[in-house]
Amino acid sequence: MSQIALTRRGPELVAVRPHRRGGLKRRQAIASYLLVAPFFLVFLTMLVLPLVYAGYLSLFRDQLVGGTVFAGLGNYMRAVQDPLFLEGLLRMLKFLLIQVPIMLSLALLFALALDSGRLRLQRVIRLTIFMPYAVPGVIAALMWGYLYGPDFGPFAQAARAIGLPAPPFLGSQWMLGSIMNIVTWSFVGYNMIILYAALRSIPTELYEAARVDGAGELRVAWSIKIPALKPALLLTTIFSVIGGFQLFNEPNLLRSLAPNVIGVGYSPNLYVYNLAFVNQDINYAAAVAFLLGIVIMIASYAVQLGALRRERRS
Amino acid sequence: MRPFTKRPAAGLAATTIVAALALSACSGGASTTPTTAAPSAVSQAAIDAAMTTKTDLTFWTWVPNIQDEIDLFEKKYPAIHVTVVNEGSAHYTKLRTAIKAGTGAPDVAAIEYQYLPSFTQGNSLLDLAPYGAAKASGDYASWIWSQVSNGSAVYAIPQDVGPMGNLYREDLLSAAGITPPTTWDEFAADARAYRAANPDKYFTDYPGNDAGAFVGLLWQAGARPFGYDGKKTVTINLESPEAEKVVNFWNPLVKDGVVAVDPDFTDQWYQSIANGRYASWQTAAWGPVFLQGTAAKTSGLWRAAPLPQWDASKPTSGNWGGSTTAVMKSTKNPIAAAQLALWLNTQHEPSLMLATKQFLFPASTSILKDPAFIDEKSEFYGGQQVNKEFAAISATVVPDFSWLPFMDYAYSSYNETMGKAVADRTDLAAGLKAWQTALTTYATQQGFTVK
């Protein structure tokens, strides 16, 4: 999925170097297979097998009355016409188009600020920005749920204290924005670390050369750092797109605070969960999950393709 | 995940039971094979044999400290060991998953009344009639017993119930010059007057996320929205005159902003209950104890009364909540499991303990008459005998209410339809219609015949 990013970034990808002596080469080859074997074992049993099983399940229809019958692509046909699923997808698309640019811009800004070397207490600041990522998603959603509270939350109380109505963070108009805020807060530090690490790997001679040519800090950031960050930005974008489509924790937990605002299909992942465990429709849930996976693949491919085109043009 | 550890003793127990069954003449392979015909009773000899054989049972329940009652059981039947497991909020999800997987299900499980049909529909519950459950019917009001039985079959033993009443803040009402309403007409007028006098407070909250509470109000009004014949036919009738009466009553109150529409059992709601933002709560018999824990600082200010009535000359109530003890059909120890379910809820000592220690509102008529339960005075309610109040209400619950075999879906789709209309303060009648449509569509999709 993120091949471009990795091959362009990665000398670390080169696992086996060609050697002259055949025996050593073979022994090294065996060793490297042994080293990757545990991963592939887990990958097969925990990912590929369940996927195959889910794919198999998605082809059947299990009714409460009448039992299981082969449905072919019936579940998929139902899903592409299911307003709840489509609304959820659309909502996530809106979420991504707004949230990902905001989050990555912030992450980029922080990374550049840290890399400029002009900040005091650099490590403390870096750690502080990264810290929300260390807070488990569930805790984050609970914490923000409290902050958003319409009666008891500190924002509402502050608003009331100065005679304003409480902001309806958990109302149907604001909810998506409220969730975007939680996700941004959680992941800005994570993305910042990736970008910052990429910045650290830019050869400093380039900066010196630029300064000799009379470039200021902003010019260096614009003409050297950001272009060099492209692969890392692509990587973080793809991660964010994948993560965004899979939104589950935040809506699921805020749901208990605003059950009539967040419906069963608020995010596609939440919908799959409710289909499987509330409606007891495992087969249909499997089909919806597969479709979601396909949408995510298409979306991440589109992001890559977009980046590739831009590169060719320039 | 596997509560059944195969031990030599268990194998021995099985042979003993089979021998006992064979000896007690004409009681063939009782209930070990699923048959449609009524299974014949298990003999006392077989029960005695099973109860003295070393057995391990697993019991899934959410009742806190029920281990106290289990200790009593184990003292009486030293050969039986019961492992109590609290699966928390994932109780039903885990139960259904275990049933589907065919392994890992408990022997005995707590199940709420409304979910029983979804388990009998999948043929997952053991018919307890042959194990002596049929005799227990006399100890329960007919509205309770009809929910756990179908014909001669008994699928669970009632544990607690939730006949609905009205809790109100005596201080707030008297400050507003309002006496607790006895009819719904009075209730509406009081709610408007109270709201007009207290712009930042509400007479009550009408949550859009609690189908259980709404169904309880339908129940009181005489509506019978759901039905299931135990096979393939379900009844979904949310557009009866009785159901419309309830919805048309709340519609203007919700639309005009007279009542709050906060989702219940959320932080917002807890705060409002505790700080007097709501002056009353139409709730079930488990409500009084619940409130005591939630709004401790308002002790002495609350009172309990029956629900407002549609017809004051014929006091009636509905039920909201309550649970049963059921035995899974997959159990390897049906006799011991059935005896546990029966003993826990029909023996005087444990069922009184459930009522006085765990504060479950009793289903059993004998506990509802027991002075140790009903004479208790509650400080929180200004010394009122709240249990006596609700015991009297329990006798007025209208019988013959039944459920759909997919209440999980019914409740969750309520939030999307009717509940959404409440939360958005739009037309409740349209919301109710949308709920009816959602349920009918789902039932048809699942292969049921909808009547």
Q: By CA distance, what is B210's nearest residue in A?
A: A259
CB A150 within 8 A of CB A169: yes
Q: What is the pLDDT of residue B35?
A: 42
CA distance A149 to chain B (A): 7
pLDDT averaged over every residue in chain B: 90
What is the interface size between A and B, counted as CB pairs within 8 Å?
74
Is the pLDDT at B153 greater than 50, yes or no?
yes
- Dist CA B411 CA B431 (whole Å): 14
The B-side interface with A (CB below 8 A) comprises 93, 96, 100, 121-122, 208-209, 232, 263, 266-268, 271-272, 277, 405-406, 408-409, 412-413, 415-416, 419-420, 422-424, 442, 445-448
CB A61 within 8 A of CB B445: no
- Please give the average per-residue pLDDT across A169-186, as a whole number: 93
A151 contacts B268? CB cut-off 8 A: yes
With bands split at pLDDT 50, 70 and 90, how would you rate the model's confidence at A20?
A: low
- Burial class of residue B95 (count of CB atoms within 10 Å of its CB; 0-12, 13-18, 19+): buried
CB A257 within 8 A of CB B263: yes
- Please give the average per-residue pLDDT across A34-49, as a whole number: 94
pLDDT tens track for B336-359: 999 999 999 999 999 999 999 999
Q: What is the pLDDT of residue B12?
A: 34
> Which residue in B211, B146, B139, B200 sits closest to B362, CA to CA?
B139
Is the pLDDT at A56 greater than 90, yes or no?
yes
The reply to whether A258 touches chain B by the CB within 8 Å rule is yes
pLDDT tens track for B223-270: 999 999 988 999 999 999 999 999 999 999 999 999 999 999 988 899
Share above pLDDT 90 across residues of chain B, in percent, rounded to a whole number:
84
Is the pLDDT at B23 greater than 60, yes or no?
no
B271 contacts A151? CB cut-off 8 A: yes
- Please give the average per-residue pLDDT across B216-227, as a whole number: 97
pLDDT tens track for B368-379: 999 999 999 999
Share above pLDDT 90 across residues of chain A, in percent, rounded to a whole number:
54
Among A63, A149, A263, beta carbon nearest to B268: A149
CA A114 to chain centre: 23
Among B268, B412, B422, beta carbon nearest to A150: B268
Q: How far is CA B178 from CA A309, B271, B279, in A?
A: 73, 23, 11
CB B166 within 8 A of CB B190: no
For residue B210, how many other CB atoms are within 10 A of its CB? 21
- Please give the average per-residue pLDDT across B173-200, as a whole number: 96
Is the pLDDT at B222 greater than 80, yes or no?
yes
With bands split at pLDDT 50, 70 and 90, how would you rate the model's confidence at A314?
A: low
Helix-helix angle B334-346:B67-76, to 10 degrees: 120
CA B305 to chain centre: 20
**H/E stretch holding B176:** none
Is the pLDDT at A142 greater than 60, yes or no?
yes
- Please give the average per-residue pLDDT across B383-406, as a whole number: 95
CB B418 within 8 A of CB B431: yes
Q: Is the dihedral of CA B194, B198, B203, B205 positive or negative?
A: positive
Q: What is the pLDDT of residue B367?
A: 95
Q: By CA distance, what is A262's nearest residue in B?
A: B416
Among B267, B416, B447, beta carbon nearest to A263: B416
Between B216 and B122, whose confidence is greater? B216
Interface test with B, best of A61, A69, A151, A275 (most B CBs within 10 A): A151
Contacts of B208 in chain A (CB under 8 A): 259-260
Q: Range with the lowest mean pLDDT among A186-200, B33-47, B112-126, B381-395?
A: B33-47
Q: What is the pLDDT of residue B38?
A: 53
With bands split at pLDDT 50, 70 and 90, how would you rate the model's confidence at A215?
A: confident
A151 contacts B448? CB cut-off 8 A: no
> Which residue in A255, A19, A39, A273 sits closest to B97, CA to CA?
A273
Between A5 and B107, whose confidence is greater? B107
B268 contacts A152? CB cut-off 8 A: yes
Q: What is the pLDDT of residue B3?
A: 30
Contacts of B413 in chain A (CB under 8 A): 264
Q: What is the pLDDT of residue B126?
A: 96
pTM value? 0.83
Q: What HEC string does chain A produce?
A: CCHHHHHHHCHHHCCCCCCCCHHHHHHHHHHHHHHHHHHHHHHHHHHHHHHHHHHHHCCEEEECCCEEEECCCHHHHHHHCCHHHHHHHHHHHHHHHHHHHHHHHHHHHHHHHHHCCCCCCHHHHHHHHHHHHHCCHHHHHHHHHHHHCCCCCHHHHHHHHCCCCCCCCCCCCCHHHHHHHHHHHHHHHHHHHHHHHHHHCCCHHHHHHHHHCCCCHHHHHHHHHHHHHHHHHHHHHHHHHHHHHCCCHHHHHHCCCCCCCCCCCCCHHHHHHHHHHCCCCHHHHHHHHHHHHHHHHHHHHHHHHHHHHHHHHC
B415 contacts A259? CB cut-off 8 A: yes
